[in-house]
Chain A
Amino acid sequence: MISTQSFKKFKPLIFLAIIFPSLLWSYQFINGSLGVNPIEKLMDNMGKMALRLIVLTLFISSLSEFKNFRFFIEIRRMIGLFAFFYVSCHFLTYIVLDHFFDITFIFKDIIKRPFITFGFLSFVLLIPLVLTSPKKILKKIGYKVWKKIHYLIYSAAILSSVHFYMLVRANKIEPAIYIFLILVLLIYRLYYKIILPRLVR
């Protein structure tokens, strides 16, 4: 069994591994080696990475409840913050590179196109999680309130996976896998946290 303490040593490595793709893609973008439509590619890559990290945090939450995997909780916050980092890169690519600060257009786009509405809402819902991520704030507001706020991750996860699902034209297998995983993790959590305690009582 890996102890939390020894797992901490891997944190810098995990940090590097997760930040690496964003650096690579930025380099490729500048370098002109991100294909013929680099803006689209950059936006897609950042978005997919964000969604994978969101699913990963959910997975870590459920997995770390098991004794043998408790150490995973050590990296949950980092993964969560990285998910927001990638969501921000994705959104910034859309604002700056795709639409070059055409704010009126972007505003209309968010309202008009459901898939963009969903993506935007997901981004907004992640903000309170980021703001309450420092340990100081957790202590200030108390674990119960903190936990309630952080359940927003499930709404954000569903919204962003549906955002992806609606965007894809034909082969919807990849986004469907994310939706499926998120639902499984959500149902598992609901069962253990809400339904089971009531049954036992």
Chain B
Amino acid sequence: MKIFSSEITPYKHYINRRKFIKSSLAAGLVLGTSTTIQANHSSNQNIYANQVDENDSLNSFEEITTYNNFYEFGMGKTDPSENSSNFNPKPWSINLEGLINNPQVLDLENLLQKIAIEDRVYRLRCVEAWSMVIPWQGFPLSELIKIADPLSSAKFIQFVTVFRPDEMPGQKRRLLPWPYVEGLRMDEAMHPLTILSTGLYGHDLLNQSGAPLRLVVPWKYGFKSIKSISSIRFVDKQPEATWSMLAPSEYGFYSNVNNFVDHPRWSQGTERRIGEFKRRKTLMFNGYEEEVSHLYSGMDLRKYY
């Protein structure tokens, strides 16, 4: 495993905060112990071993950081790792706005002083029918929602990626309508699996992975997990989301991983796990069915895809 030492610039006190979470989540996801383990910043895969599901193995740091969809840095899979060196994720602030009691501009560094960083090993399933297993570090989105203190009228959250065409060459071209936006329903956002990630493999996120702060919603297709978030808006109606705005018949607002709803371009029945030769069967809700299916009880997921 390569360690890009030049790029390891941990947040202050990160080491002290970082600890394995005492599992409050369903078994199988986190088979954690209650021990607090001192973080080490190596990419030693063993420290994640107890979080990796039986049939999975971690993708390497190199795989995770050289094969990305992040159109802000270009359309090709290697563009984000090649074209993102001018992006400066520090300092970083996040606008909390909309239907909340505490609208504010949050300084990320300050926020991270107060919040415990956890390890989460999740499968990531791209709508393009490839997948990876990634050891993220981050904190539940619900923690930030508590800080924002939403009004009861806030039913959805919209996330906005930063717009910096000078640092993000893809934004100089109209590849997508900028800035990239995504959204979640409030109960999805509050779900304990939904995290805001600040790192992976013990590093701060590299620019191509959505530095310094990105969403990770493991039961939805990867494009829902919006990167480099600059604003979080609490709204009363289902907000716009970039891909579902561009091609509503292909990408729904929910975009849950669903092997029963086919995509015109990609079969969603199988996927290629990066690093493997034979395709795997795609699991309903990307294998998190037990934890999340209750969110959608009574909904026709063929209609709300």
Contacts and interface: CB of A to CB of B under 8 A. Distances in A.
Interface in A108-135: 109, 112-115
A113 B67 contact: no
Given A109-B267, A170-B176, A171-B175, A37 B262 contact: no
Contact of B71 (A98, A99, A113, A170): A170
A105 B128 CA distance: 17
A36 B264 contact: no
Nearest to A109: B267
B279 A99 contact: yes
Interface residues of A, dominant DSSP: helix
A37 B175 contact: no
Interface string B256-281: 00000010110100101011011100
A43 to B, nearest CB: 11
Interface residues of B, number: 25
Interface in A1-60: 35-37, 39-40
B272 A39 contact: yes
Given A36-B66, A37-B274, A99-B279, A166 B77 contact: no
Interface string A82-111: 000000000000000111100001000100
* Most-contacted residue by chain B among A39, A97, A169 (CB, 10 A): A169
A166 B265 contact: yes
Given A36-B67, A100-B278, A105 B267 contact: yes
A165 to B, nearest CB: 12
Interface residues of A, number: 20
Chain B residues touching A, majority SS = loop
B262 A170 contact: no
A35 B272 contact: no
Contacts of B62: 36
B71 A35 contact: no
A171 B75 contact: yes
Interface string B44-82: 000000000000000000110011000100010110000
B87 interface: no
B178 interface: no
Contacts, number: 50
B175 A170 contact: yes
Contacts of B78: 35
B163 interface: no
4 smallest CB-CB distances across A and B, nearest first, come from A36-B67, A171-B75, A36-B63, A171-B175
A37 B278 contact: no
Contacts of B176: 170
Contacts of B128: 169
Nearest to A116: B265
B264 A114 contact: yes
B268 to A, nearest CB: 12
A105 B176 CA distance: 32
29 contacts: A35-B77, A36-B63, A36-B67, A36-B274, A36-B275, A37-B67, A37-B77, A37-B274, A39-B272, A39-B277, A40-B130, A40-B272, A97-B277, A98-B272, A100-B277, A100-B278, A100-B279, A105-B270, A112-B262, A113-B264, A166-B264, A166-B265, A169-B128, A169-B265, A170-B71, A170-B75, A170-B175, A170-B176, A171-B75
Contacts of A99: 279
Contacts of B66: 35-36
A32 to B, nearest CB: 11
Nearest to B63: A36
A167 interface: yes
Given A40-B130, A115-B265, A170-B176, 9 more contacts: A36-B67, A37-B77, A97-B277, A99-B279, A100-B277, A169-B128, A169-B265, A170-B71, A171-B75
Which among A37, A39, A97, A99 has the highest number of chain B CB atoms within 10 Å?
A: A37
B203 to A, nearest CB: 18
